[in-house]
Chains A and B, each alone.
Chain A
Amino acid sequence: ETGVTQSPTHLIKTRGQQVTLRCSSQSGHNTVSWYQQALGQGPQFIFQYYREEENGRGNFPPRFSGLQFPNYSSELNVNALELDDSALYLCASSLGAGNTEAFFGQGTRLTVV
């Protein structure tokens, strides 16, 4: 167990809807990164939050947004869901935004129908 928890574990949404995924980081970790993993692919970096600020972003459209709270937990919000958003969403926490290992949660499986 990494100490990183994600909720919910599974979710089914309809195209066009909005979804919020949640992540609690490992105790003492101030950085949360979010990744999207499509079936059969490796995870792709969405963005990172460090001390409540977005600290870097991958090649994802603005309808992917996030928040980080004072306790360093984080949310990923996706608006106007598309079928291609169906994936496993992983969050990873780390100590600092720098050169270090990341601890991943079990992921949220999102299915868009």
Chain B
Amino acid sequence: SQQGEEDPQALSIQEGENATMNCSYKTSINNLQWYRQNSGRGLVHLILIRSNEREKHSGRLRVTLDTSKKSSSLLITASRAADTASYFCATWNAGGTSYGKLTFGQGTILTVHP
């Protein structure tokens, strides 16, 4: 089953604008990761934020994590047409003493118009 919800399901913006995607989850986590997927192909890891971190930056990406609200947001600044893709948040949960798994949301489809 999916861990939580992503909002919005689809986002359409113009090049140069900022894009914000939100993710909510249900259970306690060790970390939360954001991935990008182009045209139903492989997932590309964007950024990982640990449960004891509140904000993290990587280039044009900014991720926040609020564990009290069980939510995270991904901000892409100064978007480009090449940012058009599906974006997924995934929470990493320890499934037992020796392994963990990623639990994904349903994703946000971002379209950036030139």
Q: Which residues on A are within 8 Å of B, measured CB to CB? A: 2, 4, 33, 35, 37, 39-45, 48, 50, 55-56, 58-59, 88, 90, 92, 97-99, 101-107, 109
Contact = CB atoms under 8 A, between A and B. Distances in A.
A66 B112 CA distance: 39
Interface of B: 1-2, 30-31, 33, 35, 40-45, 48, 50, 88, 90, 92, 94-96, 98-107
A58 B100 CA distance: 11
Contacts of B101: 33, 45, 48, 56, 58
Main SS of the interface on chain B? strand
B32 to A, nearest CB: 11
Given A41-B106, A99-B30, A104 B44 contact: yes
A77 B54 CA distance: 40
A99 B1 CA distance: 21
Contact of A107 (B33, B42, B50, B96): B42
Given A101-B45, A106-B41, A45 B99 contact: no
B76 to A, nearest CB: 19
A90 B100 contact: no
Nearest to B30: A99
Contacts of B99: 48, 50, 55-56, 97-98
Given A41-B106, A42-B105, A98 B42 contact: no
A51 to B, nearest CB: 10
A45 B103 contact: yes
